[in-house]
Chains A and B, each alone.
Chain A
Amino acid sequence: MEKRVTFKGWLLPLCLIAPQVFISAVFFFYPAGQAVWQSLFIPDPFGLSSQFVGLENFEYLLGDPYYRASFVTTAIFSTLVTLAAMIPALFLAVMADRLVKSARVYRTLLIWPYAVAPAVAGVLWLFMFNTRVGVIAWYLGQLGYDWNHVLNEGEAMGLVVVASAWGRISYNFLFFFAALQAVPRSIIEAAAIDGARFWRRFFTIVLPLLSPITFFLLVVNIVYAFFETFGVIHTITSGGPQQATTILVYKVFSDGFVGQDLGSSAAQSVILLLLVGLLTVLQFKYIEKRVHY
C-alpha cells in the first residue's frame, strides 16, 4: 500500500513552484523568446533600425554550405568530447574506487581540473602544444613528428577536443565515483565467489548498474559540448584552420559578438536550441529505454 500526502488547494503548490518558474522565465523563456524574435530581423549593430525579414535569416544560413558543414564539425566535435570526457572519467573512477590507501588525495587531485574555466584551460593546452614553445610539441618534434595545429585540421580538432574534455573528466569522475560507491558490495562479492574476474564483474554487473548515471552524464556532456566550449575554441583556434573547428556555438558567438550580425546570430541560436532539444528528446526516447533504474 502506498501512502500519499495530499495538499488541498492551489496556493501552496503554486508558491512552491513559483521560484523555479520565475527563474526559468527570466533566464530562459525571456531570452529565448527574444532570440526567436530577433531572428526574424536584420538589425544594425546599434539597434537604430532593423528590417523585418521573416525567415530569411534561416534561409540564408541553411543555404550556406559553410554553415551546413559546421553541423558535421559539431557532430564530430561533440561525439569526441563526450567520449573523451566520459571514458577516462569512468576508468579513473573505477581505479579510485579500488584504492584503499590515500583515496582521498587522488580524488581531490582528480577533481581539480574542473575548477579551471574553459577559456583558461584552452590557454593552458595551447601553451603545451604551441608550435614554437610548446613542451609537448617540442617532444613530438624530438620524436620526428612535426606538430602544426595552425595548419593541420585534424590536429587542431584533436587539440580543442582534449582541451574541452579535460576539465569535464573531473566532473564526470565525481558522478561515476559516487555511483560506484552505491553499487551493492554483496552482488560483487557473490560474483567474485562464482569466479567472475574483475573486468567481467565490471561489464556484467557494475556497468549496467551505472546506466542511469551514464545516461545523465551523456545528456549533460553533449549539452556541454554544444554550448559551453566556445571559450576553448576562441582561445585555441578561433575556429580554424580553415573551418575545421568552427562548431555551431562558436559561430553564434563570433557572428554576434565579433561580427555584430545579431539577426544571423539569433537565428543560429534558435537552430541550436531546436537541435539540442531534439537530441535530448531522442536520447530520452531511445537510449533511456536501455537504462535500468
Chain B
Amino acid sequence: MQKTAFGALLAATTALSPLAATAQTEIQFWHAFTGRLGELVAEQVATFNESQSEYSVNATHKGNYSETLNAGIAAFRAGEQPHILMVFEVGTATMMGAEGAIKPVYEVMEEANADFDPDAYIGSVKGYYTTTDGQMLSLPFNSSTPVLWVNRDALEGAGIDPDTDLSTWQNVDGVLDQLAEAGNDCPMTTAWQSWIHLENLSAYHDVPFATKENGFAGLDTELAFNGPVQVQHIAQMGEWAKEGKFIYAGRRNEGGANFRAGECALFTESSAGYAGIKAEANFDFDVRPLPYWDGVDGAPQNTIIGGASLWVMEGHEPAEYEAAAAFLNFLSSPEIQAKWHQDTGYLPITKAAGELTREQGFYQENPGTDVAVKQMTAKAPTANSKGLRLGSFDQIRGIIDEELEAVWSGDKDAQAALDSAVERGNQLLRRFERASN
C-alpha cells in the first residue's frame, strides 16, 4: 500500500522533469547516523531507489555530526563533495555563510520544477533553515525538542503524587525539595545543558539568546543570554546543584544513563530520547512539556529544535540536481516522515506527517509522544523563538559548558559566568563575521 503511494508521488515529480535520462543518475548522500538510525536511513534510501529507475542514491556514513560536517568541508576543498550532506543545526550558520559551496534547496527544487511546498513544514522547523525572506536553504531532516522526562516510581517513592503539576519551574522546585527530603540522591539531571537551559529557555520565555533575531538578521549579531530570565534560571539551578537536587552528569547526554537506570527522578532531555528510555527503563515514566517560569511575560512561547538538515552542495551536473530534488521531495512525503517520527521519536516535521500519525492512532497507543509536537507548535514562533543562527556555535557551546560548570561547582555566580560566556562567545562571533565577509 505504502509503496504505491510513494510511486504515485514520484511519478508526479518525475513527470515534471523535462529530460528523460538514458542512464541512471547516481548521487552521493553523506550522513551521520549509526545503529538503528543508520538502518532506518538505509531503508529510506533503498525505498527511494526501488521506487523509480531514473535515479540512484548512494548513502554513506561519515562519523558523528561534527565529523560528517568536517568530511563534507574537506571534500569540498578537494573538489570531491557529495551531492547531499547532513549538517547538524549548530553548523547551520557555517553552511549558510558558505555561498558558493552550497546550493539552496529552494533553488534546487525550482530548477527541477519539483512540486515542493516549504509551508508543509511546521513553522519552528522551517524557520530554522529558512532565510529571513522565507526561502528554504536546507531540507529539515531529523528534529527534536527538549521535554521533561519523569520517573513516576521515584515520585511515588518519595510520597509525591506522580501526576503532580510540573509545568512550571516553581512547581518543580517544590517537588525537588520533597525528593531531597525523602532522601533521593538524584532529584534532577539534564542532557545538553546549553541547548536546553539557555537556548531553549530563552526561546520558551521569548527573550533573545542573541541580538539581530538570534543571528537570523545578520552576521553582526551579539550574544544576549546574560539577561535577567537566563541569569535567574541558571542561578536557581546552581542553587539546586549546591543542595544536591540537580546532579550534573556531563556536557552531552551522559545524564541519560542515570535516568534510564532509575536513579534520577526528573530529566530534561530531547524528545528523541524516547526510543532509548522506552527500551531500557524498568520503571513507569512519562513525558511532560519542558517547565517554564511562571510570571515571565509571554512564557511559555515555543521551544526550538535540535537535529540536522540536508544541504545540497554546489559543483554538480544539472541532472544530478534533479536527482537530489527528487530524493529530497521523496523524503518530505507524509508517509516517510510519519514513519520516521514513529520509529525514532524525532518530531514529525511536516504538518501532514503529524496528521497521518494521529490518524494511524500512534499517539493513543503511545501517550506522551505528542507532547513535543504540541510544545513546539502551540504558538507561532517569534523573533526570539524561531531558532538560532550563530557562527562558530559549536565552540560557543563549549564556552557555555565551561562557564556553566563553574556555576555548578560553585566557583562563579550565574551573572558572572553568563557575562563571561557572552564576552568570550562574542569574540568568536566577530571572527566568524570577518571570515565570512
Contacts and interface: CB of A to CB of B under 8 A. Distances in A.
A51 B434 contact: yes
A139 interface: no
Nearest to B399: A66
A151 interface: yes
Given A46-B77, A261-B395, A151 B101 contact: no
B392 interface: yes
Contacts of A133: 257
Contacts of A46: 73, 76-77, 98, 100-101
A49 B251 CA distance: 33
B34 interface: no
Interface in A32-46: 42-46
A35 to B, nearest CB: 16
Contacts of A48: 98-101
B21 to A, nearest CB: 30
A235 interface: no
A212 interface: no
Contacts of B249: 131-132, 150
B431 A257 contact: no
B94 A261 contact: no
Contact of B395 (A47, A50, A255): A255
B431 A60 contact: yes
Interface in A188-233: none
Interface size class on chain B is: 35 or more
Contacts of A44: 97-98, 435-436
B134 interface: no
Contacts of B257: 132-133
Contact of A258 (B99, B250, B251, B395): B395
B94 A45 contact: yes
Interface string B15-44: 000000000000000000000000000000
Interface in B404-437: 405-406, 408-409, 411, 424, 427-428, 431, 434-437
Interface in B86-143: 94, 97-101
B428 to A, nearest CB: 8
Contacts of A283: none
Contacts of A152: 409
Contacts of B408: 151
A42 B431 contact: yes
Given A42-B435, A45-B73, A242 B392 contact: no
A93 B394 CA distance: 45
A60 B406 CA distance: 24
B266 to A, nearest CB: 17
A170 B416 CA distance: 45
Contacts of B406: 242
A243 interface: yes
A240 B402 contact: yes
B364 to A, nearest CB: 35
Q: How many A residues touch the partner, as a band?
A: 35 or more
A131 B73 CA distance: 36
A240 B94 CA distance: 25
Interface in B261-285: 261, 263
Interface string A170-201: 00000000000000000000000000000000
A263 interface: yes
B298 interface: no
B216 to A, nearest CB: 19
Contacts of A238: 251, 398
B344 interface: no
A240 B424 CA distance: 16
A241 interface: yes
Interface in A8-50: 42-50
B169 interface: no
B249 to A, nearest CB: 6
Contact of A151 (B97, B99, B409): B409
Contact of B435 (A43, A60, A257): A43
A240 B251 contact: yes
Nearest to A246: B402
B401 interface: yes
B99 to A, nearest CB: 7
Interface in A47-85: 47-51, 53, 60, 64, 66
A259 B98 contact: no
B394 A240 contact: no
B405 A45 contact: no
Contacts of B70: 257, 260
Nearest to A150: B250
B66 interface: yes
B333 interface: no
Contacts of A260: 70, 73, 94, 392, 394
B43 to A, nearest CB: 30
Interface in B385-402: 392, 394-395, 398, 401-402
A32 to B, nearest CB: 19
Interface in B60-83: 66, 70, 73, 76-77
Contacts of B258: 132
A269 interface: no
A280 interface: no
B367 to A, nearest CB: 29
A48 B411 CA distance: 42
Interface in A140-175: 150-153
Contacts of B435: 42-45, 49-51, 261, 263
Most buried by A among B263, B435, B437: B435
A261 B101 CA distance: 17
Interface of B: 66, 70, 73, 76-77, 94, 97-101, 248-251, 254, 257-258, 261, 263, 392, 394-395, 398, 401-403, 405-406, 408-409, 411, 424, 427-428, 431, 434-437
16 contacts: A42-B435, A44-B436, A45-B98, A46-B76, A46-B100, A46-B101, A47-B77, A48-B98, A51-B434, A132-B263, A150-B248, A238-B251, A241-B402, A242-B403, A258-B398, A260-B70
Given A45-B98, A240-B251, A242-B403, 20 more contacts: A42-B435, A44-B98, A44-B436, A46-B73, A46-B76, A46-B100, A132-B257, A132-B258, A150-B249, A151-B248, A153-B409, A239-B402, A240-B405, A242-B409, A255-B395, A257-B66, A259-B392, A260-B70, A261-B395, A261-B435
For the complex of A and B, the 9 pairs showing the least CB-CB separation, nearest first, are: A259-B395, A46-B101, A241-B405, A44-B435, A151-B409, A46-B98, A242-B402, A42-B435, A47-B77
Interface of A: 42-51, 53, 60, 64, 66, 131-133, 150-153, 238-243, 254-255, 257-261, 263-264
